[in-house]
């Protein structure tokens, strides 16, 4: 039976349990106990509908635990930073048929509910060697950890549900075509003037009987014309996928049980395609190089080239092409997702980096060049107030924030005018100078900060010893010495006598 | 008798020498006394080849912390005597050595130990010194675990013994609490009737003089305090020995080393001018060497920072 925490109570018996600013009993961690894996999935599905797991994904540990009676249950442990977060989790856990606890290391007590608005405290701790002891009003139970469940692998194993409504959602699509259909689809797109990018991805052979790796074509289509949707989604060998989260897409007509946008576990550099109908997930650790399908347009060579000869004296017609300029714009800033930090501003970036939150550090990507650093942050670069801001007018094309390119050509036209460089991120500076930064050069900011660290070896007083000899300490165990332990030890006075004399005496 | 001695030597190697060099649980064997300790290692070597090779590897690794050598000579009869003396020294901490009728056992063993240590020859050369150091340098790392067991109706304490399972059974029901403490070698005789802690530390100090490089390497110890002996002075009288001693001392905190050497210098009788001059000269060399090392480390620390700022 648990004790209710009273108003203004200051001392709690549960180890690691304290009172937060509201007076609610709260430990460093929160724990949700669920009876089975499908309840775990239900919990994740319910929670991610309205909340994101990104806040505590790093501290999230899912384990299968086993009670003394052998019953297996599932626990979710996470950093219980505030009672607000715990309240949200507790509500969802209640709905999913789970119990919510709070604690710090081993002992977890029931989190507050309507009957005890300030939480609960333990009357007496259960002495046990178990890794987990849970105290609830209805039960007290100890558990041993059996195995961990990785969230990513769990999400990969979940079968998407049928949901025809996803076919009507607008936006870009990924299309995966089997090797035999790839070329035909490219030409179909070229003939129909559909803007798309294509790449070839390889998967290891499914069995040793296969001759080579499995090859599939991957298309990224910004907008699939409606007339093509039935053909693309009904042709065997083609799969249309709706991007759900960075690095993850679900086949059109299906929906993943968990809101993947709220679970940032997939790498943005790769792609995971969830297929419906019981088929395996297609996983790419790194996206293949993608190129414009226009490059595959049919080529016809003429027999002769009629070269016109320009008369020397003739006046040349005035050139139509004009230089690109940037003009200040009065429009509000939108899609400001990159910045250029000059070399002299790098110390400022280093200082600002100390104040950045973990989420920003993780999501921001940086490329270090001779001309300084280029930062990209898909959700907005304003959080890192250093350098000159750029806005993205097209994927891979940036112009300074607060400026418009004149002539006001379409961003795609401008991109083509720049040669549609594959794998390059183009930045047009205010002085009209254009630079291209390789996309591969962008690495997470947190990695770059760490890699930039210099360290110097210090000679520790015992470093050589510990490094060379990590042997255990000699430890003496004392015991009985038997009958007459000193039978070989003569009296001190006899030590200096000759040995023969002693033997004779004895 | 010879076979019996061979078995005892092998037992000594397995139970005392191996844990001393390789680490792990050590169980001191029956005391050897002075006379047997001296004759124990004559033409003796470890029979267990596997153990011998593991010991050789560990000893060479220890020695290479001080000097770039690839092989060490096997244990000679003096090394065996030092080992037997160490076994007897550890037995002095054993509460089972005395009973009501044998209260003088500690004094008898202590007298034998002193007699033995005074007769064990110092290392013949610098290689001998480093070989002996490689074998016995972990002596002061030896610890003993004392346990105090409390249950709901009583308590019991154990020195260097594992509490019996009958006392620790049914932990939850009997509310058993076990409090274990690590005791270093120099404090192992505290609370033991029949032997004074000072006497034990004197014996330990005498034993340490038989392995002079270890004695110098542990000069910054808290107890027993370091003092110059004939063997340590003769080691630093040679240039290679002096280098080795400096390298060994440079792993200890500089302030404590300086104060330990200064205190030991002051204890050298005024009649021994030459010895005092030698010790003071070595102390000054150590001070200068440590200063140079510190500056060198500062330089190597500053270099990456300069590189980072340039970047």
Give per-residue pLDDT as tens, A249-259: 999 999 998 98
Task: For residues B113-135, give the mean pLDDT.
Answer: 93
Q: Determine, for residues B108 and A492 on separate chains, whether the beta-carbon distance falls below 8 Å.
A: yes
Q: Determine, for residues B143 and A476 on separate chains, whether the beta-carbon distance falls below 8 Å.
A: yes
Percent of chain A with pLDDT over 70: 89
Determine the pLDDT at residue A504. Answer: 44
Q: Determine, for residues B58 and A461 on separate chains, whether the beta-carbon distance falls below 8 Å.
A: no
| pTM score, whole prediction | 0.46
Q: Determine, for residues B31 and A486 on separate chains, whether the beta-carbon distance falls below 8 Å.
A: yes
Taking CB atoms and an 8 Å cutoff, what residues of chain A touch B171?
A: 127
The structure tokens listed for A306 are 């009629």
Which phi and psi angles does A350 have, rounded to 5°? Answer: -60, -40
pLDDT bin (cut points 50, 70, 90) of residue A299 is low
Q: How many CB atoms lie within 10 A of CB B234?
A: 16
CB B173 within 8 A of CB B195: no
Give the model confidence (pLDDT) of A425-446 as tens digits. Answer: 888 888 778 888 888 888 888 7
Q: Determine, for residues B35 and A495 on separate chains, whether the beta-carbon distance falls below 8 Å.
A: yes
Give the burial class of A388: count Cβ atoms within 10 A of its Cβ; 0-12 exposed, 13-18 middle, 19 or more buried: middle
Q: Determine, for residues B172 and A127 on separate chains, whether the beta-carbon distance falls below 8 Å.
A: yes
Residue B158, SS3? strand
- A327 in contact with B at a CB cutoff of 8 Å? no
Determine the pLDDT at residue A109. Answer: 93
Q: Which residue has the higher pLDDT, B30 or A52?
A: B30
Q: Determine, for residues A474 and B19 on separate chains, whether the beta-carbon distance falls below 8 Å.
A: yes
Q: Which of A459, A471, A473 sits opposite B297 (nearest CB)?
A: A459
The DSSP line for A93-144 is HHHTT-EEEEESSSEEEEPPBTTBTT-EEESS------SEEEE-SS-EEEEE
CB A206 within 8 A of CB A239: no
Could you give the CA distance from residue A209 to residue A88 in angstroms, rounded to a whole number?
52
Q: How many CB atoms lie within 10 A of CB A98?
A: 24
Which phi and psi angles does A368 have, rounded to 5°? Answer: -95, 125
- B25 in contact with A at a CB cutoff of 8 Å? yes
Predicted complex: ipTM over 0.95: no
Taking CB atoms and an 8 Å cutoff, what residues of chain B touch A476?
A: 25-28, 90, 93, 142-144, 160, 188
Cite the beta strand spans of A120-233 per DSSP E.
120-122, 132-135, 140-149, 161-162, 173-178, 197-203, 214-221
Whether the predicted pLDDT of A211 surpasses 80: no
Average pLDDT, chain A: 83
CA A161-A166-A171 angle, 5° bins: 140
Whether the predicted pLDDT of A312 surpasses 60: no
- A505 in contact with B at a CB cutoff of 8 Å? no
Q: Side-chain half-sphere of A441: how many Cα atoms within 13 Å?
A: 15
Nearest residue in B to A474, CA atom: B23
């Amino acid at each position: 039976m648990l004790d209710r925490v009273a108003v203004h109570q200051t001392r709690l018996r549960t180890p690691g349990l304290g009172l937060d600013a509201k007076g609610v009993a709260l430990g460093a961690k929160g724990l949700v106990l669920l009876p089975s894996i499908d309840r775990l999935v239900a919990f994740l599905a319910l929670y991610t509908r309205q909340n994101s797991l990104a806040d505590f994904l790093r501290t999230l540990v899912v384990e299968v635990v086993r009670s003394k009676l052998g019953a297996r249950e599932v626990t979710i442990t996470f950093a219980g930073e505030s009672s607000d977060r715990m309240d949200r989790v507790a509500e969802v856990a209640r709905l999913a048929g789970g119990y919510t606890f709070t604690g710090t290391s081993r002992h977890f007590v029931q989190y507050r509910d309507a009957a005890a608005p300030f939480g609960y405290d333990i009357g007496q701790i259960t002495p046990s060697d178990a890794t987990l002891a849970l105290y609830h009003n209805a039960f007290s139970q100890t558990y041993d950890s059996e195995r961990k469940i990785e969230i990513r692998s769990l999400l990969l194993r979940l079968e998407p549900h049928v949901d025809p409504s996803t076919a009507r959602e607008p936006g870009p699509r990924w299309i995966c075509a089997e090797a035999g259909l790839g070329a035909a689809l490219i030409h179909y797109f070229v003939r129909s003037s559909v803007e798309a990018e294509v790449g070839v991805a390889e998967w290891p052979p499914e069995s040793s009987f296969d001759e080579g790796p499995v090859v599939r074509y991957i298309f990224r289509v910004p907008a699939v014309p409606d007339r093509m949707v039935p053909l693309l989604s009904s042709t065997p060998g083609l799969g249309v996928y709706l991007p759900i989260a960075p690095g993850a897409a679900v086949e059109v007509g299906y929906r993943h049980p968990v809101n993947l946008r709220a679970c940032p576990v997939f790498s943005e550099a790769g792609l995971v395609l969830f297929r419906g109908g019981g088929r395996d997930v297609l996983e790419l650790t790194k996206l293949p190089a993608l190129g414009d399908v226009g490059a595959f347009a049919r080529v016809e060579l003429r027999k002769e080239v009629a070269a016109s000869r320009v008369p020397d004296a003739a006046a040349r017609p005035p050139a139509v092409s004009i230089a690109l300029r940037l003009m200040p714009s009065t429009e509000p800033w939108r899609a400001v997702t990159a910045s250029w930090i000059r070399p002299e501003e790098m110390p400022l970036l280093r200082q600002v980096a100390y104040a950045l939150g973990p989420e920003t550090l993780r999501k921001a990507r940086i490329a270090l060049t001779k001309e300084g650093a280029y930062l990209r942050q898909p959700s907005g670069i304003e959080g890192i107030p250093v350098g000159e801001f750029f806005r993205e007018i097209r994927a891979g094309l940036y112009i300074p924030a607060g400026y418009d390119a004149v002539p006001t050509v379409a961003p795609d036209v401008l991109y083509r005018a720049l040669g549609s460089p594959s794998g390059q991120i183009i930045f047009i500076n205010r002085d009209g100078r254009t630079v291209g930064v390789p996309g591969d050069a962008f690495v997470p900011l947190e990695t770059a900060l760490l890699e930039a660290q210099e360290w110097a070896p210090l000679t520790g007083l015992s470093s050589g010893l510990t490094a060379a000899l990590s042997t255990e300490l000699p430890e003496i165990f004392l015991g009985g010495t038997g009958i007459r332990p000193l039978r070989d030890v003569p009296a001190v006075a006899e030590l200096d006598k000759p040995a023969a004399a002693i033997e004779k005496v004895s | 008798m010879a076979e019996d001695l061979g078995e005892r030597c092998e037992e000594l190697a397995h139970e005392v020498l191996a844990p001393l060099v390789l680490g792990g649980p050590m169980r001191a064997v029956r005391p050897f006394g002075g006379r047997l300790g001296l004759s124990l290692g004559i033409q003796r070597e470890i029979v267990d080849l596997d153990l011998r090779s593991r010991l050789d590897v560990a000893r060479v690794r220890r020695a290479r912390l001080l000097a770039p050598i690839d092989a060490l000579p096997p244990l000679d009869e003096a090394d065996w005597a030092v080992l037997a003396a160490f076994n007897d020294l550890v037995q002095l901490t054993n509460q089972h050595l005395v009973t009501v009728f044998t209260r003088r056992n500690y004094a008898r063993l202590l007298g034998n130990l002193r007699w033995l240590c005074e007769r064990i020859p110092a290392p013949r050369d610098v290689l001998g010194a480093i070989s002996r150091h490689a074998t016995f340098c972990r002596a002061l790392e030896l610890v003993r675990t004392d346990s105090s067991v409390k249950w709901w109706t009583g308590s019991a304490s154990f020195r260097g013994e594992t509490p019996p399972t009958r006392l620790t059974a049914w932990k939850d029901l009997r509310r058993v609490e076990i409090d274990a403490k690590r005791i270093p070698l120099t404090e192992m005789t505290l609370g033991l009737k029949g032997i004074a802690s000072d006497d034990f530390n004197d014996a330990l100090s005498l034993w340490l003089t038989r392995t002079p490089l270890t004695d110098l390497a542990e000069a910054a110890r808290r107890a027993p305090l370091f003092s110059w002996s004939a063997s340590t002075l003769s080691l630093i009288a040679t240039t290679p020995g002096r280098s080795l001693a400096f390298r060994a001392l440079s792993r200890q905190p500089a302030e404590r080393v300086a104060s330990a050497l200064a205190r030991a210098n002051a204890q050298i009788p005024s009649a021994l001018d030459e010895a005092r001059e030698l010790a003071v000269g070595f102390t000054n060399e150590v001070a200068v060497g440590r200063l140079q090392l510190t500056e060198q480390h500062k330089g190597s620390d500053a270099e990456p920072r300069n590189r980072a700022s340039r970047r």
